[in-house]
Amino acid sequence: MTWEDLRLAIGEFLTSAGFAGLAALAAATIAYKGIVERGRIDKNLATEADDRARWWEALMWVWANREDLPSPVKVKVLRTLNSLSRNTTQSAMLEAAMDAIVKVKRKGGSRG
């Protein structure tokens, strides 16, 4: 087989229905993998957003009920929120809430 025969054979394959089918299969595989990955990313983002919303709701609940809740309940909720904090914003909000709750306790408590 000469180079010219090889070139013609490759050219014939590249213009055949077999090659078109192979290219379509490769494109479909790449698209499928992209769709699956996008679905995984979207699911993770939705879960993360849901976790943040529940974290925020719990902080708002303990804040709204800070004067009525028994100390052990406040401590447990705040410790749980601390362990679930995922970023500096959550940590800062939790720290500010804890400082304010401790001040309210000291102000209203017997320590003066």
Question: Region 77-88: what's the mean pLDDT?
Answer: 88
pLDDT confidence of residue 112: 38
Asked if 55 contacts 78 with a C-beta cutoff of 8 angstroms, the reply is no
In whole angstroms, what is the distance from residue 104 CA to residue 65 CA?
12
CB 74 within 8 A of CB 102: no
The pLDDT assigned to 110 comes to 46
| 46: pLDDT strictly greater than 90 | yes
Q: Are 69 and 50 in contact (CB under 8 A)?
A: no
pLDDT over 70, % of the chain: 91
Cα separations in angstroms, 100 against 8, 25, 89: 81, 62, 17
Q: What percent of the chain has pLDDT over 90?
A: 46
Residues 50-72: tens digit of each pLDDT: 999 999 999 999 989 988 888 88
Residue 67 neighbours by CB under 8 Å, 6+ apart: 104, 108
Structure tokens at 99: 């400082």
